[in-house]
Amino acid sequence: MEVLFIALLAGFGFIVAYHTYGRWLGQRIFRLSAAAVCPSAKLEDGVDYVPTNRSIVFGHHFTSIAGTGPIVGPAIAVIWGWLPALLWVLLGSVFIGAVHDLGSLVVSLRNNGQTVGDIAGRMLNPRVRILFLLTLLMALAIVLAVFGLVIAAVFRIFPASIFPVLVQIPLAVAIGLWLHRKNVNLLLPSLIALGLMYLSVIYGNGGWLGAFNQTLAQWPAIVWVALLLGYAFVASVLPVWTLLQPRDYINSLQLITALGLVLAGLAAAALFGGPPVADGGERVPLALAAPMVQWNPEGAPLIFPFLFITIACGAISGFHCLVSSGTSSKQLRRETDARFVGYGSMVTEGFLATMVILACCAGLGLGIAAADGGVLTGQAAWAERYTSWSAGLGPNVAAFVDGSANFLAAIGIPAAAGVALMGVLVASFAGTTMDTACRLQRYVVQELAAALRPVSFRGGPWHPLSWLGSRHGATAFAVGSALFLAGMPQPGQEWTLASAGTGGMVLWPMFGATNQLLGGLAFLVIAFYLWRRQLPVWFVLLPMVFMLVMPMWAMCWQLFIGPESWIATGKWVLVTMGLATIALEIWMIIEAVRLFPRARGVLEEGPAECVRPSTAG
């Protein structure tokens, strides 16, 4: 019953936070108004700026910010125990992550849907804009590379997920065209899409489809990454209503129903026990199999600061500011929808991360296959998957998939179907993060090309960066740079088809620190936005300092201090990117500290806000 109590208490806490703290932020601080003209209407172009129903925007936003982050991060971090991971998810998502996401969304809405990096140039100064955009460029290149490799790994571990994930693409296009041309109610397309998705999971691994999945699962990782980035290229240049919105909406429905099934399975396992490990055996009681706190797990870095960069999505993630200001702000129809999309999506993601923690720490204990053909339960099952920090990404993802499948088995869903459903969930959400990240990287490349052009090539009608200013050129750069990073072999190996991609996962530690640093820098922009308008900033300053210090601490430890520091082990790509990131952060902080005393009450120059709301809404 302890596990069920944690799940219900967390869910209730997130609902209360949305209706109290979230409401206070929306009404008293940001003063959201239904009278405001949003960028989607003011700048409507049918491609990026498209006024959209808030439910569809929620689906796009939620699936884009979620991705595999709230799955992979908590699944790794529970090696320090379930309590630290749970506390960080609960407190971080309510008081830091949701504030960050809502603030980034509102600031972008009030600045014509521009990205937070572009806005930084006016909130602080033009130098900061260049610095911020360069930081975003590196961070998004890592996101695209890492998530491409994650999907390739999921396909290899869970081949049954391949066909359902692939069939989502034509299904999403069909739903998008239907909604766009017929302007029908969402209910019928939603039910059809959800039904087809579950049919593809149930029947997508039998007969010739099973052979198809097994064949594709053997493809080299770099081949999958190249194909996935090709898909991301297409998704990035198409109008959002064609593929991005419907695919994200379908995935949001899939996740919400899967969460409901997992919660139902958790309740059944708590009340009646998990499925018997053998025919005719007794049901396994549900209990927390992981330790409450484990300060020094084998091979793991220090819990401080690494807990706070390992669990990003689900507590606070800098990538969210890019989604809020990059795509969602261009689609919201009404400003008052910002709380539902920004704050609501983040606390929903916090609940997802909570369920991941419980699946890894309790669901796993209901039974997993042992190497000798037997079945392990309880603490033995958890210890089998969490042998050491260096065990790799695969066992951590598998811990969530198997633990969730055990919950589903408690309500009668066959184990094979449960594993396939969870595998599809992980791969689908990584895919939505990829296509959104590719579109965001396109925005960043275009903004950076425009910012650098007058500096380097004054007066000329043409310059070498012209091609980066176009939609297709910027997207090609985004895809090409990510493919280069993902294709790195292990240090010391030559580039071959077999070795390409084997070293790309060394980017994962860099992803965590850089991603969280973006959160601190986004808080910096939000703080200046409020400070210039003489609005309260106290609720932003502490999270801002926390999210600037923790990633810097972690990156310095990885660069110089740890037993396998990047400098000591000769990981020069990480060394170069890490030092560049630290330098950019320090420079931006210096610029901010110098400007902050003089900025209060002084509005920034630049494009006027769509409408300055005069009343709270």
Per-residue pLDDT tens over the stretch 148-200: 888 888 888 889 889 998 988 888 888 888 877 776 666 677 778 888 888 88
Residue 39 lies in a domain: yes
SS3 113: coil
Please write the tens of the pLDDT for every residue from 268-324. Answer: 999 999 888 776 678 889 999 999 999 989 888 899 999 999 999 889 999 899 899
Question: Residue ranges of the alpha helices (H) in 375-497?
Answer: 378-385, 393-409, 415-456, 471-486
Q: What pLDDT is attached to residue 214?
A: 92
Q: Taking 60 as the threshold, does the pLDDT of residue 610 lie above it?
A: no
Q: Taking 90 as the threshold, does the pLDDT of residue 450 lie above it?
A: no
Contact 536, 512 (CB under 8 A): no
Dihedral, 67, 70, 76, 80 alpha carbons, nearest 10: 170
Q: What pLDDT is attached to residue 454?
A: 55
How far, in Å, CA of 131 to CA of 39, rounded?
25
Please write the tens of the pLDDT for every residue from 559-585. Answer: 998 888 889 888 787 888 889 888 888
Residue 609 lies in a domain: no
Please write the tens of the pLDDT for every residue from 379-410. Answer: 999 998 898 887 766 778 888 989 999 999 99
How far, in Å, CA of 104 to CA of 328, rounded?
10
CA atoms within 13 A on the CB side of 603: 9
Pairing, β 368-369 against β 375-376: antiparallel
Residue 142 lies in a domain: yes
Confidence of residue 588 (pLDDT cuts 50, 70, 90): confident
Tokens at 432, concatenated = 């939505």
Q: Taking 80 as the threshold, does the pLDDT of residue 428 lie above it?
A: yes
Contact 487, 495 (CB under 8 A): yes
How far, in Å, CA of 81 to CA of 83, rounded?
6
Q: What pLDDT is attached to residue 510?
A: 78
Name every residue whose Cβ is closer than 8 Å to that of residue 15 and which is 6 or more positions away in sequence. 347
Query: What is the pLDDT of the chain when averaged over all its residues?
Result: 86
Considering the entire predicted model, what is its pTM?
Answer: 0.88
Q: Taking 60 as the threshold, does the pLDDT of residue 611 lie above it?
A: no
How far, in Å, CA of 569 to CA of 140, rounded?
25
Q: Which residues of 509-530 are buried (b: 16+ CB within 10 A; e: fewer)?
A: bbbbbbbbbbbbbbbbbbbbbb
> What CATH number should be reported for the domain holding residue 231?
1.20.1740.10
Q: Taking 50 as the threshold, does the pLDDT of residue 61 lie above it?
A: yes
Residue 612 lies in a domain: no
Name every residue whose Cβ is closer than 8 Å to that of residue 283 and which is 6 or more positions away in sequence. 272, 273, 274, 275, 276
Domain count of the fold of the chain = 1
Q: Taking 80 as the threshold, does the pLDDT of residue 463 lie above it?
A: no
Q: Taking 70 as the threshold, does the pLDDT of residue 465 lie above it?
A: no
Q: What is the domain extent for residue 473?
A: 2-457+464-599
Q: Taking 70 as the threshold, does the pLDDT of residue 617 lie above it?
A: no
Mean pLDDT of 483-490: 81
Residue 509 lies in a domain: yes
Q: Taking 70 as the threshold, does the pLDDT of residue 207 lie above it?
A: yes
Residue 614 lies in a domain: no
Confidence of residue 502 (pLDDT cuts 50, 70, 90): low
Residue 611 lies in a domain: no
Please write the tens of the pLDDT for every residue from 239-272. Answer: 888 887 788 778 878 888 888 999 999 999 999 9
Tokens at 23, concatenated = 């409401």
- Phi then psi dihedrals of residue 268, to 5 deg: -65, -40
Residue 436 lies in a domain: yes
Q: Which residue has the higher pLDDT, 35 or 498?
A: 35
Q: Taking 50 as the threshold, does the pLDDT of residue 614 lie above it?
A: no
